[in-house]
């Protein structure tokens, strides 16, 4: 089972979009995928159609508090989802004094009864307790980076965060790839950002780039991934290509 966290400490870079659509593309290949939402904003859950969770629903929050993770999973035709909502925000204070708090998600995933090929984790756009839980539970990290100057500046900090977690909590953690999003191949700035990333990360930069696409933007409002919403759109084609590329690569060591 490959457990991959999507990490960027800046919002709006396509992190949630990439998590759900890569999961959909992998599922299309016949692989069993679980998408885990550990962001109190619940954007992944909403994008997958779970925007009105009831008080009695078991979410990520209850799972981290000891509820059976298998009761919390929602099964779709393609991938499964462990959803969350705003109630998870209470955990930022509640978990401060808990022993081994960084391992709560990892421990929960260890109790899964179903066999998954991939677990994809969407974490918050900040370095908080939930991000640390996601990184401690994962073996791999994908870093979505928007093709702009300011998001590029934060990538070095992301790498430092991964190294810190690896040294203190999770020796198996590695960066699998850097994914360029909102990419325009005919714009000089985008080319400059790509060149800078390739200098810093070498062949860990995915060959597949995700361009700005209306179908990608529209799909979440219908509670669907882009493949379900518009199978032949540019965004769907690009995420299928990304899935193919991911299946042919593994973490290659520390970067």
- Whether 67 is in a domain gets the answer yes
At residue 84, what are phi and psi to the nearest 5 degrees?
-150, 175
- Whether 255 is in a domain gets the answer no
- Whether 206 is in a domain gets the answer yes
Domain range for residue 8?
A: 2-247
**Residues 54-108: tens digit of each pLDDT:** 878 899 999 999 999 999 999 988 899 999 999 999 888 888 888 889 999 999 9
Q: What is the chain's mean pLDDT, rounded?
A: 90
- Whether 14 is in a domain gets the answer yes
- Whether 254 is in a domain gets the answer no
What percentage of residues in the chain have a pLDDT greater than 90? 65
- Whether 145 is in a domain gets the answer yes
How many domains is the chain partitioned into structurally?
1
CA–CA separation, 207 vs 118, rounded Å?
A: 21
Which domain CATH number covers 160? 3.40.50.300
What's the pLDDT at 151?
Answer: 59
Q: Where in the chain does DSSP place strands (E)?
A: 2-6, 33-37, 74-75, 80-82, 118-122, 140-146, 174-181
- Whether 23 is in a domain gets the answer yes
- Whether 253 is in a domain gets the answer no
| pTM of the model as a whole | 0.92
- As a residue count, the chain comes to 255
**Residues 14-38: tens digit of each pLDDT:** 899 999 999 999 999 999 999 999 9
């Amino acid at each position: 089972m490959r457990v991959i966290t999507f990490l960027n400490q800046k919002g709006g870079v396509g992190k949630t979009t990439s998590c759900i659509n890569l999961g959909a593309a992998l599922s299309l290949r016949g692989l069993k995928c679980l998408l885990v939402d550990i962001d109190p904003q619940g954007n992944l859950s909403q994008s997958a159609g779970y925007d009105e969770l009831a008080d009695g629903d078991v979410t990520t929050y209850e799972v981290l508090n000891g509820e059976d993770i298998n009761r919390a999973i929602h099964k779709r035709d393609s991938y499964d989802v462990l959803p969350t909502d705003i109630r998870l925000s209470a955990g930022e204070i509640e978990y401060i004094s808990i022993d081994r708090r960084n391992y709560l998600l990892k421990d929960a995933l260890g109790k899964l009864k179903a066999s998954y090929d991939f677990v994809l984790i969407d974490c918050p756009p900040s370095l908080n307790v939930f991000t640390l839980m996601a990184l401690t539970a994962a073996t791999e990290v994908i870093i979505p980076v928007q093709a702009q100057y300011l998001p590029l500046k934060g990538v070095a900090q992301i790498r430092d965060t991964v190294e810190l977690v690896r040294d203190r909590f999770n020796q198996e953690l590695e960066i699998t790839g850097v994914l360029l999003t909102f990419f325009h191949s005919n714009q000089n700035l985008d080319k400059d950002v790509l060149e800078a990333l390739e200098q810093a990360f070498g062949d860990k930069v995915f060959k597949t780039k995700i361009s700005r696409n209306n179908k990608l933007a529209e799909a979440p409002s219908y509670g669907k991934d882009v493949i379900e919403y518009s199978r032949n759109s540019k965004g769907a084609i690009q995420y299928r290509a990304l899935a193919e590329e991911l299946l042919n690569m593994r973490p290659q060591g520390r970067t």
